Amino acid sequence: MLVAALLPADSTGVAQIPRRNPTGALVRSAVIPGWGQFYNREPLKGLAYGSLQAGLLGWTLYENHAADHARDMFLATGDPSWDRDAEDHRNTFRSLIWYTAGAWVLSMLDAYVDAWLFGFEQENENFDRNAGLGLMVGIGL
């Protein structure tokens, strides 16, 4: 109710409903992981998505470096265990590319949907008030 009091009312006396641009949220989340969530005033989600994507990216880069190192060691020594190591790291690297891309797409979709739903609670309150629906209980002292 405090939110409704802080928002300007239109000519009917109904509080304006705050909005977010879904495309803007999606693009922000595509450019910088978590930015779209911050734009939608969801900072915990923004930190979670940003941290997840940064962690996945760091792990992906590490696996790529480890695969290159193991391949170099195999070429230098001829030891087949280095070749198996390189192949294991390369397979993990390929999997992580998919996980990172999936997290990126999920982050963008989450920002897009949250932008569409931004202000949904306020809209429901306005609808209930205008339609005469709902129950209000108050205790006066």
| This prediction's pTM | 0.70
Convert the pLDDT of each residue in 38-62 to its tens digit. Answer: 999 999 999 999 999 999 999 999 9
% pLDDT > 90, the chain: 67
* Number of Cβ within a 10 Å radius of residue 119: 17
Give the pLDDT band (50/70/90) at residue 128. low
